[in-house]
Every structure is written in structure tokens, then in C-alpha cells.
Structure 1
Amino acid sequence: MRARPYALLLSLLVAPFAHAAAEKNIYGLNERVALPDFDLEVSAKLDTGAQTASLSARDIERFKRNGESWVRFYLAVDEAHAHPIERPMARVSRIKRRAGDFDPEEEKTYTARPVIELNLCMGKTLRTVEVNLTDRSAFQYPLLIGSDALTRFGALVDPSLTNAVGKPDCANASDADE
């Protein structure tokens, strides 16, 4: 019965990690995400290699309102969004450019993007996350969800799955500020 002490030791070592994993939600590589602020549902790519979330927008224009920084933009998700949206800016992010995406003589290796706070609903989980605005119309998914937002969702991403949490349903959720 020498194996019994080792089994006990192993269970004591694994228990904290099992508890942490139990609190996580499993999402697929792609999920349907509701944007309640815009009364819209879009397809999103969950990308653990990206830090920030990005929403497809066009005609992005920064301006001042009562001394505060704001941004005006149009959603670039389909033809139906022809009206401008104005939101306060949370900050400006510096997104590193890829080697083929910049001119070495320009000496600028990043792109400055306005960031807004936005409510996102995946499955039955609603969270407020920071989202940078950029034209993603050349990409398949109008919304990219990076590691910062995935952490807010307590997400584990299984790339073999798609739409693992089903249709967004946060009608009764009140946990956007958690």
C-alpha cells in the first residue's frame, strides 16, 4: 500500500488547478457574439495570440466633446450600418505592425487605434471589454477577441470547436462590470 501516500500527494497538488479550471468557460475558435450597445450580433474569432479586441469600423474620426476625447465611426460589418456612432474614447492603443505592414523608412512600427468600452455577450456571459476600432472588412470576422477580453470572460479556447456556447443570450445578465 505504498501507492496510497503518492495518490494523496498527487491529489493535493492537482486540486488547486482543478478548481481554477472548473471556474472557466470553454469557447470555440469562433463564436457568435452579441453587441447589446448596438443591438447587433456578429461572428467573432477568439485569438489567444492577440492581446486586444478589435471591432471592424470605418471612417474613424477622433474629436473633442466638452474637453473629453470621443470617436465617431461607422460599423463595417454589413451594408445596414449607415449611421454614425459616437462613443467616448477609453484610450488610444498602440498596435504593433507586422514586418510586411510598414515602411522601414517611416520608422513607425505601430498603429495608433482608438479604444472604446463595449459590452459583449458570449453564451450567457456579459462583460464590458476594451475594443479597438479598425477596418477589418478584409477579414472573415468583424470582431477579434484577444487575450485581455478572453481573461475577462474566464475563457478556455478549444480551437477544435465552433460556436461552443451557442447563441448569445444575456437578456437577464447583469454581470457586465465583473
Structure 2
Amino acid sequence: MTAMKLEKLVYYCQGWHLARHNRALFGETIEAWRQGPVVPELYEHHRRQYTISQWPWGNGTELTATELATVRWVTNEYGSFSAVELSRMTHHELPWKAARGPLPDSANSSAPVSTEIMRSYYSRQIADTETAVALATANAALEGVEFDEEWQDRLRDVASGTISADELIAAEIARISGD
């Protein structure tokens, strides 16, 4: 993986761990660099390396089950994105933007990213199943589309993780096309 992608995945691990468990995954500061969030202590280990092929620092077996679950979830959810895509995503999110204030994206910065803002921001991204279905139904209604009870049940399946959104979309395409 690229060093830049590693930095962004570490950032997302911290954010989601703060949101779900109300405590930091690690104690090091994250800074709002031009390319997105960076942990300077981590950066020092991979400085001048484009690709990370091995990592002799740290010990993954020291992670608790909860910490490991966070890391696995983040890698599953964000691992398919490129380093550039992850960087762009962070540039649109409040924690990085708040740390940088009025600085343009192109400006250098070592401003710390607030763990409290990260916790608050990512906590707001979590919704229970019924809230997620209600929000999706309301958003669709604003677009002139009404979700009947059957569709709301299918959305509950997606929100609860029973099926993926991709599986639901594929099933609906197959239904519409008669396959």
C-alpha cells in the first residue's frame, strides 16, 4: 500500500474508533497536512517511501478485540479507495477542514486535528436501522419517490447488514429486467 493510503486509513481508524467507543485508538496527534490527515510519528517511519511493503514497528497482536474490529471495519469500508480518493474524501470532512481553518488546500499546515471534532463528526455518521430507513424514505420522498413497506423492509436489510446495497441493487435490476 502507499504511505499516503496508510496515513488516511489510520486517520479513519481513529475517527471511527472515537465514534463507536468514545476513546482514542492511539494517542499520537493527527495533523491537517496539505495532502490530508497525517500522524507525524507514523510519517517518520515511512518518510521517503512511496510504497509500504513491510512494517517492522508495532505489534498487531497487542490490539484488543474491539480495536482489531475497528481496524478490520475501516479496511473493509475504505480499503478499496486509492490514496488520492481517500485524501479527497478527508478534504470534504469537517475534522480536517476545521483544523485548517481558512487555509487553502494547497497551504502547508501542522495544525492538530481535534479528536473531539472527529468523535462528534463520525458519531453523527452512525444511525440505527430505523433512523437510516426513515432518512432514506424522507430523502426519496423529497425526490418524488415513495418507498412502500416492502422497499422499507429491503432498506432495513441493507441498514442492518443482512445484505449489501450492491446486492439489493443487483436484485432490483434483475427484477426490473425480468432475469
On whether the aligned pair clears a TM of 0.5, the verdict is: no
TM-score category, normalised to shorter length: under 0.3
* TM-score calculated relative to the size of structure 2: 0.23
Q: Which has the higher helix share?
A: 2
Question: Which structure is higher in RCO with an 8 Å CA cutoff and minimum separation 6?
Answer: 1
* TM-score calculated relative to the size of structure 1: 0.23
